[in-house]
């Protein structure tokens, strides 16, 4: 691994949190992701399943975690199964984790080879009445791809049809949404790498540069600082492209007088950052750009102050909607009649700001978090308002990552990344 791993005590705590919420006489099983094929003999680079990583810190394929908190033998309460290195694997791929390596990273004492899993599962199910099975239930999930977890669920239900089956995901959605200080440190590292990339491109952007060249400059800086690269598919959207919310083609040339919206950020150690800035291709914002930009910035600043303990997701977004409406009225993009006639289910401001203001962030860019639960300290969110003007050929979005505090305003992990107009213009023209 190119990143510095978190100490094993974090993963011990994470497993304890999960096991405290398990029903009596039950076990839980977690599988790694598959290595997904592209075609012929090509595959995508391996990405560890974030749930098993959260519980073990193990970043290797074909890993399985079995938890049995009431096992009579203490050593059987946590068992990790890993792939064994043979001579063929060693020649082609290099050595995999040793049992000692896996024990050091995860803090799990009992490490077994993968071929011992089936017999161990049979033994542990005979001592318990139920099992926690893991499936992605994130509210944004719409993937049709069958996962290693999906196959395990089908196999288990067929082989053990009279065991009770419970869902791991609601537990994980809650405990993963509240970050340990060690996790926040990794997210901060990702944000710091993102800052390096952004400062690099501020000096690189000029008329005639292509969107993909900006992407390449960012990637160079991220990888040079021990990141695997982008935390998500980067959006480098110049001119009218900024009005396409998930624009990822990045194949237009940046023109004089345009803005370029950059929604791109680094990961570090599987933890994500998420940044958006909108900068002038020629190094100076026009008066019109400044007016819209300052309104978006004002919404972002006010929205951030609302991320406090006890606030509900729905209430937060309704309040941000009011703040955005006031800005759009001030800009003349809405009038009082628009607001008076608006459909409560589709407020007038949605014409110019059609996406949500925030999402949880952590091991996933759109991280786990139950939307019906109130905000708690150490939850980490993005704040990303925008105003999109397709008729004027530009859109502006600004985004930072913040941590909810026990009291007071949240801490902005991107506070050092330039966002004020004067600072951006100064760097671009230095």
pLDDT at 53: 98
Angle at 253 between CA 247 and CA 259, to 5 degrees: 70
Decide if 246 contacts 202 (C-beta within 8 A).
Answer: no
Supply the pLDDT for residue 306: 98
**Angle at CA of residue 25, ends 24 and 27, nearest 5°:** 105
pLDDT greater at residue 222 or residue 89: 222
pLDDT-derived band at 50 (thresholds 50, 70, 90) equals very high
Mean pLDDT across the chain, nearest whole number?
A: 97
How many angstroms from the chain centroid is the CA of residue 141?
A: 13
Task: Give me the residue label for tokens 């695997």.
Answer: 228
pLDDT (0 to 100) of residue 89:
83
Which tens digits make up the pLDDT trace of 164-177? 999 999 999 999 99
Contact by Cβ (8 Å): 388, 395: yes
Q: CA-CA distances (angstroms) from residue 257 to 150, 365, 393? A: 50, 32, 11
pLDDT single digits (tens) 368-415: 999 999 999 999 999 999 999 999 999 999 999 999 999 999 999 999
Average pLDDT, integer, range 178-195: 98
Percent over 90 (pLDDT), the chain:
96
Q: How far apart are CA 193 and CA 305, in angstroms?
A: 25
Of the candidates 376, 366, 380, the residue with the CA atom closest to the CA atom of residue 411: 380
Burial 269-285 (b: 16+ CB within 10 A, else e): bbbbbbbbbbbbbbbeb
pLDDT at 257: 98
pLDDT digits (tens, 9 = 90+) for 298-312: 999 999 999 999 999
Residue 85 confidence (pLDDT) above 90: no
pLDDT of 291 over the 90 cut: yes
pLDDT for the residue numbered 209: 98
Judged against a pLDDT cut of 90, whether residue 101 lies above it is answered with yes
Domain residue extents for the chain: 8-177, 181-428
Contacts of 194 (CB under 8 A, 6+ apart): 222, 264, 265, 266, 273, 275, 414, 417
| DSSP 8-class letter at 390 | G
C-beta separation of 186 from 271 below 8 A:
yes
Hey, what CATH topology would domain 8-177 get? Answer: Creatine Amidinohydrolase; Chain A, domain 1 (3.40.350)
Classified by CATH at the fold level, domain 181-428 comes out as Creatine Amidinohydrolase (3.90.230)
Q: What confidence score (pLDDT) does residue 87 get?
A: 83
pLDDT tens readout for residues 55-83: 999 999 999 999 999 999 999 999 999 99
8 A C-beta contact, residue 394 and residue 258: yes
- pLDDT of 111 reads 98
Q: What is the pLDDT of residues 333-352, one digit of tens each?
A: 999 999 999 998 899 999 99
Q: Bridge-partner residues for 82, per DSSP?
A: 113
Q: What angle do CA 222, 226, 227 make, to 5 degrees?
A: 50
């Amino acid at each position: 691994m190119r990143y510095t791993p978190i100490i094993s005590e974090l993963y011990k705590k994470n497993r304890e949190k999960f096991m405290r919420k398990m029903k009596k006489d039950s076990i839980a099983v977690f599988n790694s992701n598959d290595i997904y094929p592209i075609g012929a003999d090509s595959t995508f680079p391996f990405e560890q399943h974030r749930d098993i990583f959260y519980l073990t810190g193990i970043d290797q394929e074909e890993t399985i975690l079995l938890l049995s908190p009431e096992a009579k033998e203490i050593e059987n309460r946590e068992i990790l199964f890993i792939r064994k290195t043979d001579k063929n694997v060693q020649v082609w791929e290099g050595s995999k984790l040793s049992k000692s390596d896996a024990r050091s990273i995860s803090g799990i004492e009992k490490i077994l080879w993968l071929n011992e899993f089936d017999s161990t599962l049979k033994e542990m199910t005979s001592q318990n009445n139920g099992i926690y099975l893991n499936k992605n239930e994130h509210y944004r999930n719409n993937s049709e791809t069958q996962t290693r977890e999906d196959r395990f669920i089908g196999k288990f239900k067929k082989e053990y049809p009279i065991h009770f089956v419970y869902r791991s995901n609601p537990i994980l959605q809650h405990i993963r949404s509240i970050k340990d200080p060690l996790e926040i440190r990794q997210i901060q590292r990702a944000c710091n790498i993102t800052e390096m990339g952004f400062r690099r491109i501020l000096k690189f952007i000029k008329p005639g540069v292509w969107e993909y060249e900006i992407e390449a400059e960012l990637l160079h800086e991220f990888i040079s600082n021990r990141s695997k690269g982008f935390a998500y598919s980067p959006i480098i959207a110049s001119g009218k492209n900024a009005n396409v919310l998930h624009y990822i083609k990045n194949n237009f040339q940046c023109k004089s007088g345009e803005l370029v919206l950059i929604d791109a950020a680094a990961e570090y150690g599987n933890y994500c950052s998420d940044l958006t800035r909108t900068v002038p291709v020629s190094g100076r914002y026009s008066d019109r750009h400044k007016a819209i930009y300052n309104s978006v910035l004002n919404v972002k600043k006010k929205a951030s102050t609302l991320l406090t303990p006890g606030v509900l997701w729905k209430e937060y977004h309704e309040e941000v909607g009011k703040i955005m409406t006031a800005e759009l009225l001030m800009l003349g993009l809405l009038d009082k009649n628009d607001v008076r006639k608006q459909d409560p289910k589709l407020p007038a401001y949605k014409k110019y700001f059609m996406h949500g203001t925030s999402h949880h962030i952590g091991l996933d860019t759109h991280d786990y978090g139950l939307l019906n639960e109130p905000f708690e300290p150490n939850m980490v969110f993005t704040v990303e308002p925008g105003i999109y003007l397709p008729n004027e050929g530009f859109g502006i979005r600004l985004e930072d990552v913040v941590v909810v505090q026990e009291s007071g305003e949240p801490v902005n992990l991107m506070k050092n990344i330039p966002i004020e107009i004067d600072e951006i213009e100064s760097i671009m023209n230095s």
